Structures are given as C-alpha cells and as structure tokens.
Amino acid sequence: MPSPAANALPRLPNELFDRIITFVIADSVHSVCVSPGDTTWDMDVLPTLHQVSPLFRAISTEVVRKAFDMPRVKQTADPGEPDAVDEHSSLHIVLQALRRAFDMPCVKQTVDPGEDAVDDHSSVLKTLPQILTYLHSISTRLRHPTEWGQVTFQNITCPTGPLVLAYVLYLSCSSIRRNSVQGSVQMFKSSHAAIFAALQQSMTLCESVVPALVTGLLEDSIWIEAGLARYVQGLEIVRYFCELEEHADAIVAHRAGTDEDATSYKIALISFDIVLGRIESAVIEYRCTSMVGNYESRPFELPGVLPMLRRLHGLNLVEGGFKLAQRIQALVDEWSYACPFLHPKNPID
C-alpha cells in the first residue's frame, strides 16, 4: 500500500501524460518509416509503454487506436450508470484505466454470438506491429530497390487508414524525387508535378488524423520534402535553365542583324539576366537548405544543366553590362568542387 508520503508527491497532469505518450508514439512511427538504422525499440514502443503503468497502457492504446483508425471493441455502458464522460477526453481514458485495474463492472463488452470477446489492448498490440512492419518494409524497398522482398504497394499486408496512406505517399515521393534525376528534362518535370500533387494529398490525409500531434513529424517532413524537390533537388533550377536556353536561342538569332534585331537582342539579354538572377536565388536556397546531404543530387547533376552550361560558356556573353559571363563563371566555380567537367581554371571545354 502506498505510503502517505508517496501520495503527497507531485504528479503530472493527465493531459501532459497524454501529450508525452502521443509524441513518443509519433516519434517511433516516424523513425520506423525514415530511419535506416536499428528501429527495434520503435517497433516495440507499444508493449514498452504498456509495461509502465495502467494509465500509460490505457493512453497509449487509445492514441494508437485513434491514430491508425482502428475499430474499437464493441462496448455497452452499464444501464445503471449514465454516460456523462466524453470518450475522447483524458478523463475518460483515466476512468477506463481505473476500471480495468480494479475490475470494476461499469463497462462490459458485448460480442456477436459464438465469438470470443477481444480486449482493446490485445487487438491494438496485434495490429500495430503489422502496420509498422509494412511501413518499414516499404521504406526499405524505396531506399534499397534490390531488397524488395515480398512487400508491394498492391499487396498491403496491414490495416490501412489515413496515417498509413499519408506515410506511403510521402515515402514514395522521396524515392521518385531521387530517381527522377536519371531521366530526361521532360520526365523530371512531370515527375515533380506528380510529387507535389502527392505531397499535397499526403498533407490532406494528415489533417484527418487524430490526435493531431501524431502527424507533426510527418507534416514537417512533407514540407522539407517539398523544399528538397523545389530547390535542392532542383525543379526550379531545371526549369530556369530551360528558360535560359530559350533566351540563349534568341541571343544567337538576333546578335548581329538589323536595327529590329538589335532591339530583340537587347530584350533577350534582359530576359536572360532576369532568369539568371532566378537561378542564382535558387542556388542560394539550395545552399541554405540544412537537409542537403550526400544522397541528394548536386545542381550540375540535374537533367539538362551541364549541357546548357557548356553552351552558355560558348556564347561569350560579355555585352549588355549585365556581367553575364562572370555570373555564369561564378556558378561553374561553385559547382566545380565535385564535378571534373567544371574545373574553375578551365571551366568548360
């Protein structure tokens, strides 16, 4: 029996317990999906929380059940007690924990004839590992295509809900983004259009998940992924280099000719200057993004960028007072650290 001194110890509010446990579960689910390292603890997060106390057991079960849209075991209230407590409140969770701990007959389960009653805790403990195993397998497959195994997107091996589908979309977008640099410029653009649409759908799915704290890490990752696709992975850079090619064609066509050509040439130079400025801004975004790692593509590896740099160097753009040649050379100098074809002393042969 607890001593009076133990009862006098300060205790955290139940709402804070709820928030802490929710974040622990969200962090474990996210780690299972994105971490390439050992995720044994994260896979076993629910049994671990269940071992702490009846309160932790009740809260963690309820969080997982809601987050993954698991059906609740059918229950009916005792006719002798009015149902005055909201089932989504922390008070309800605490009362449920106390009732289970002290075997209080206030809530009883009813099941279909001939079927055994299944406890909420046991059901969630059985279902969550299936979900985490599936998400981990999908993540591994997308990171390492040679280790596909038997898991496919068509062969979903676990119950699905908005949170599972949101993670599958997010993981798929990350994989498509990294693989898109191996294709053509047109394929790169169309892939990124699909990526942004899928990321938006993933974010929409997150909005339907409760508790909302469960999707916090995923939503942050979606925003980062969109930034990686737009700047780091280079959609903006590829798009602007394509525009730069159009203006370069206009410069070549109107460089020497009539007075009308001279006007068109000046317009082409101004347009070239504007687009080059956008490229420089996109490169700054690339440089400032903290998520850039060795697994991300460098700008010169993006479709169409290196051939366009070669062509721009051959144009010798010294006219117009825009310092176009120097600015192009500055890009070459910045990217030459990792590209043998962009040596700063002999930029582009």
User: Lowest mean pLDDT: which of 147-151, 227-231, 288-292?
Assistant: 147-151
User: Average pLDDT of the chain?
Assistant: 76
DSSP 108: E
Q: Which residue has the higher pLDDT, 136 or 230?
A: 136
User: Lowest mean pLDDT: which of 151-160, 183-192, 303-312?
Assistant: 151-160
Neighbours of 11 (CB within 10 A): 9
Q: Can you tell me the distance from the alpha carbon of 285 to that of 66, in angstroms, rounded to the nearest whole number?
A: 38
pLDDT digit string (tens) for 157-205? 677 789 999 999 999 988 888 888 777 888 888 888 889 999 999 999 9
**Average pLDDT rounded to a whole number, residues 65-73:** 84
Strands 107-109 and 75-77: antiparallel
Q: Can you tell me the distance from the alpha carbon of 345 to that of 188, in angstroms, rounded to the nearest whole number?
A: 31
According to the model, what pLDDT value does residue 325 have? 82
**Average pLDDT rounded to a whole number, residues 221-239:** 79
The band of 113, judged by pLDDT with boundaries at 50, 70 and 90, is very low
Q: What are phi and psi of 346, to 5 degrees?
A: -135, 70
CA-only gyration radius of the chain, Å: 29
User: Lowest mean pLDDT: which of 47-51, 299-303, 323-327?
Assistant: 299-303
Q: Quick check: 231 and 285 in contact, CB under 8 A? A: yes
Neighbours of 3 (CB within 10 A): 8
Cα first-last separation, the chain: 84
Q: Can you tell me the distance from the alpha carbon of 91 to that of 14, in angstroms, rounded to the nearest whole number?
A: 8
According to the model, what pLDDT value does residue 22 have? 96
pTM: 0.69
For residue 115, the one-letter residue type is: E
Report the percent of the chain where pLDDT is more than 70: 69
Whether residue 235 is predicted with pLDDT greater than 80 in this model: the reply is no
According to the model, what pLDDT value does residue 23 have? 96
DSSP 104: -
User: Lowest mean pLDDT: which of 7-11, 50-54, 111-115, 265-269?
Assistant: 111-115
Q: Which residue has the higher pLDDT, 347 or 336?
A: 336
pLDDT digit string (tens) for 7-46? 555 678 888 999 999 999 999 999 999 988 889 999 999 9
Q: Quick check: 176 and 195 in contact, CB under 8 A? A: yes
The total number of residues shown for the chain amounts to 349
The band of 132, judged by pLDDT with boundaries at 50, 70 and 90, is very high
Question: 3-state class of 27 per DSSP?
Answer: helix
Question: 3-state class of 277 per DSSP?
Answer: helix
Max mean pLDDT among 141-155, 198-212, 313-327 falls in: 198-212
